Chains A and B, each alone.
Chain A
Amino acid sequence: MALGKQLADPAALARLGTDALPSAGSPPGRNRTYSDGRLGWFMAGPAAALLVGFIILPATLAFVLAFTNQRLISPNPTEFVGIANFSRLLTVKILTLEPLADPVTGEVVYPEIRDLTRDPASEYYQLQELATFGIGDTKIVLLAGDSVFIRSLVNTLVFTLVIVPVQSLFGLLLALMINRRIRGVNLFRTAYFVPVVVSMVVVSILWKFLYAPDGIINDLIGTVTFGLVQPRDWLGDPTTALPAVMLMSMWQAVGFHMVIWLSGLQTIPTQLYEAASIDGAGRWDQFRNVTWPGLRNTSVFILITITIAAFGLFTQIDVMTAGGPLDATTTVIYQAVVRGFRQQDIAYGSAISVVFFVMVLAVSLLQRYLTREAA
């Protein structure tokens, strides 16, 4: 998980916006500020130019390219294609099929979906089968413009929904456990934090080794259960691949959030705990009435950073599973890279990036709303 991304904290930027400017009312002259336009631009110019060139410009480009058919290298001129990329990405249709009796044998058969998706006159033209299930005799088919992308969207959301509560709670428990003045407690803090400084590429390759069918995890489970649980191919099985990636991702990142919880805990004045224990509050009461309210902003920050990082799930997938097996672990950013970079379809990759940006923006706005309410 890239640290830089986790650090993008919109609440902090709101403050940067308000208190960074010198106050308008301060009298000139005796003040620490200098009024020199040229020097100001000289000093802030390089940073401003680089940010415009390498963040603002490509971000704008993403929105423009998403409406074209731009490729990395192409002999044909780029054309404007409207919302074609987005409608392909996001179209999902439900098709209900009633059973038909086969006129010859009398067997129950269903109309071929192929006939619809290959018929230019059909509203289901060029859609791909996403999932099929039956209710009674009726077969319900979900069709999508890009079934792999819908799978990646679902996988990303599932990953996020599990990782966000579990990882933040786990981080909080670790922080509470080591937030003591016991000798040697820093040793444990260090131990829990070590995986954070190990690169996600290294962690992914290492855990692929641990998860292997003849690897140490299968052997450990076998030993602990006296051979009752058979070894399995954790990453090769569509039902366990994503959970396996989740466990590993948590192992790597939870120390980061433990440290942030810890710094939140240490901002709570000890007098509050003293007062609470004089009032006869037990451990749980103290946690509920002193600790938890004191951690409000920390918890919003942690929930948001984990969410945004989880949306961006990529490295683990690229190294460990390449989106498989059977698209069980493909994710939004993995698809953006496959389409935009490996297949060199810049426009389609940009459209996926825009979808991702909208997801992140929604979460950032939620954070602003939550922290504003507290103020």
Chain B
Amino acid sequence: MAISTSPLRRQGRAFTAIRVALMVLLAIFFLFPIEYMVVSSLKPDDQLLSDTSSLRAFLPIGDISIANYLGVFERVPAIRFLLNSLFVTGSVVILGLMVNSMAAFAIARMRWRGQGLVLTLIVATLIVPFETIAVPLLLLVSKLPWLGIENGELLLQSGWLNSFQVQIIPFIANAFSIFLFVQFFKSLPKEIDEAAKVDGAGAFQIYRRVVMPLSGPVVATVAILTFLPIWNAYLWPLMVTQSEDVRPVMVGVQYFFQLNPAWGEVMAYLTLITLPVLALFLALQRSFIESIAASGVKG
């Protein structure tokens, strides 16, 4: 007896078809602005505006060129901004991984006097959103001293405004990163330390030679969760970087946008700073999505 066309089965198939259609429509909703951005970056402005009335708007046809990209480089030091962001983000990620994993090791696998106090401090910082401290922090960093080199001489400078360190140092320590490391370190079996201890290794050697090499997954998670907000940072660099020498991409693109360039050039700039991150995301998709999930699971 053939059962493949039972009413229930047919209903289920119709249901699946509707679901898939809906999923496709939603995918279009989430992707069309980005596709439109990339396509528009290749077109001159008069064509951009005439194309909006038809599907041509979403196709790379007509007068296609990279003229808009060249226009961007003529107006602003776009590469400089990109390099600034790379330097700032890279520094925060690397220093953050070191500082936060060390603190987490001391909390998860050591016992020492003052540990409770440090733990309370770390926990307390979790409830302070950055927006609360941005304005007083601006005053604070405007008064901090720094040892700088000018004309080959070591000089004591005052004020961190318009510098790289003002974008890096306040963001190295992060309570949430410490928390993720603590969780991971506690899940590692104690036996791995014992063997090292027998070999005469101290706590720091165990951290550096035994625990950290095993921590690949949590290092990836913390790196991604640090990278995204620093690369995308806007509020803080807007307040502390007036000079082009240290300006990061997101403030740079807003600055460019305010010069009122052609839309095609704006789209070229947006594409330029978005595609590298998108490529990175697509390459490391699994880690990206798992990192985000890791931030919410432990409910």
Residues in B whose Cβ lies below 8 Å from that of A37: 112-114
Q: Which of B2-10, B24-32, B63-71, B148-156 contacts A (4 or more CB under 8 A)?
A: B24-32
Question: Do residues A33 and B122 form an inter-chain contact, with CB atoms below 8 A?
Answer: no
Question: Do residues A297 and B253 form an inter-chain contact, with CB atoms below 8 A?
Answer: no
- Residues of chain B in range 100-156 having any CB-CB distance to chain A below 8 Å: 100, 102-103, 105-116, 118-140, 142
Question: Do residues A47 and B114 form an inter-chain contact, with CB atoms below 8 A?
Answer: no
Q: Which of A1-9, A137-145, A236-244 contacts B (4 or more CB under 8 A)?
A: A1-9
Q: How many A-B residue pairs have CB under 8 A?
A: 358
Please name 18 pairs of A and B residues whose Cβ atoms are closer than 8 Å in the assembled complex, sorted by A: A2-B235, A4-B130, A5-B130, A36-B110, A54-B133, A59-B128, A191-B27, A192-B30, A215-B52, A260-B293, A263-B293, A264-B296, A296-B299, A302-B296, A318-B254, A336-B135, A346-B138, A357-B129
**A357 to B, closest residue via Cβ:** B132
- Residues of chain B in range 156-182 having any CB-CB distance to chain A below 8 Å: 169-176, 178-179, 182
State the CA gap A198–B288 with chains docked (Å): 13
Question: Do residues A72 and B119 form an inter-chain contact, with CB atoms below 8 A?
Answer: no
Q: Which of B72-80, B212-220, B266-274 contacts A (4 or more CB under 8 A)?
A: B266-274
Residue of B34, B121, B138 near A198 (CB, 8 A) is B34
State the CA gap A91–B201 with chains docked (Å): 64
Question: Do residues A195 and B34 form an inter-chain contact, with CB atoms below 8 A?
Answer: yes
Residues of B in contact, count (CB < 8 Å)? 110
State the CA gap A72–B233 with chains docked (Å): 22
Question: Do residues A72 and B299 form an inter-chain contact, with CB atoms below 8 A?
Answer: no
Question: Do residues A192 and B103 form an inter-chain contact, with CB atoms below 8 A?
Answer: no
Question: Considering residues A6, A174, A209, A264, which has the most beta carbons from chain B within 10 angstroms of its beta carbon?
Answer: A209
A46-B103, A194-B34 known; A13 vs B179 contact (CB < 8 Å): yes
Question: Do residues A48 and B296 form an inter-chain contact, with CB atoms below 8 A?
Answer: no
- Residues of chain B in range 271-299 having any CB-CB distance to chain A below 8 Å: 273-274, 277-278, 281-282, 285, 288-289, 292-293, 295-299
**B236 to A, closest residue via Cβ:** A2
A43-B103, A206-B33, A259-B293 known; A201 vs B299 contact (CB < 8 Å): no
| Residue-wise interface mask of B (173-215) relative to A, using a CB-CB cutoff of 8 A (1 in contact, 0 not) | 1111011001000100010011000000011100100000000
Residues of A in contact, count (CB < 8 Å)? 118
A108 at the interface (CB under 8 A from B): no
Question: Interface on chain B toward A: helix, strand, loop, or mixed SS?
Answer: helix
Residues in A whose Cβ lies below 8 Å from that of B129: 5, 8, 308, 312, 356-357, 360
B238 at the interface (CB under 8 A from A): yes
Residues in B whose Cβ lies below 8 Å from that of A197: 228, 277-278, 281, 288
Question: Do residues A50 and B99 form an inter-chain contact, with CB atoms below 8 A?
Answer: yes
- Residues of chain A in range 16-43 having any CB-CB distance to chain B below 8 Å: 16-17, 19-22, 31-37, 39-41, 43
Residues in A whose Cβ lies below 8 Å from that of B40: 209
Residue of B103, B266, B295 near A47 (CB, 8 A) is B103
CB distance from A214 to the nearest CB of B (A): 6
Question: Do residues A16 and B179 form an inter-chain contact, with CB atoms below 8 A?
Answer: yes
State the CA gap A59–B193 with chains docked (Å): 39
| Residue-wise interface mask of A (238-282) relative to B, using a CB-CB cutoff of 8 A (1 in contact, 0 not) | 000000000000010001100110111001000000000000000
Question: Do residues A353 and B105 form an inter-chain contact, with CB atoms below 8 A?
Answer: no
Question: Do residues A199 and B231 form an inter-chain contact, with CB atoms below 8 A?
Answer: yes
A82 at the interface (CB under 8 A from B): no
A199-B231, A202-B273, A315-B234 known; A216 vs B36 contact (CB < 8 Å): yes
Question: Do residues B232 and A364 form an inter-chain contact, with CB atoms below 8 A?
Answer: no
A59-B132, A72-B138 known; A207 vs B114 contact (CB < 8 Å): no
Residues in B whose Cβ lies below 8 Å from that of A44: 102-103, 106-107, 115, 118
A104 at the interface (CB under 8 A from B): no
B22 at the interface (CB under 8 A from A): yes
Question: Do residues A39 and B116 form an inter-chain contact, with CB atoms below 8 A?
Answer: no
A13-B175, A189-B289, A341-B239 known; A206 vs B270 contact (CB < 8 Å): yes
**B173 to A, closest residue via Cβ:** A50
Question: Do residues B277 and A340 form an inter-chain contact, with CB atoms below 8 A?
Answer: no
